Amino acid sequence: MSIYNVKSNGNGYHFHKHDEDLNPENVYDTSLKECTCPGGRRPTCRHRQMLPVFQHLGRVNTGWMYDFENESWYYLDQEKGLVPENRVKGWWRRA
């Protein structure tokens, strides 16, 4: 499983890819049109598909992480680790 979060620093959007133990694997620069991943030359890729979802939900630059293969969201809690979205309490859902 690959799990992603997205950071934006005024210089575009960056997908950070991790394995299931949250070890960092790669960083891709992604826009709606382009991506630096190995599939970047194809018409689309998973990162370009995920970017609008992260933007729409306001989850760029947050603790939210997405498991693309299983279509599941997790919140990265400093103490508990990855918390499945349905176990995240309302007040920090948009944190």
> Where along the sequence are the contacts to Zn ion (CB under 5 A)?
35, 37, 45, 47
Q: Choose between 49 and 81: whose C-beta lies nearer to Zn ion.
A: 49
Phi/psi at 82 (5° precision):
-75, 125
Closest distance of CB 13 from Zn ion, Å: 11
CA–CA distance, 63 with 93 (Å, rounded to integer):
10
Q: Choose between 28 and 75: whose C-beta lies nearer to Zn ion.
A: 28
Q: Choose between 35 and 88: whose C-beta lies nearer to Zn ion.
A: 35
What is the torsional sign of CA 56, 58, 60, 63? negative
Closest distance of CB 68 from Zn ion, Å: 11
Closest distance of CB 85 from Zn ion, Å: 23
Q: How far is CA 89 from CA 26, 27, 77, in A?
A: 30, 29, 12
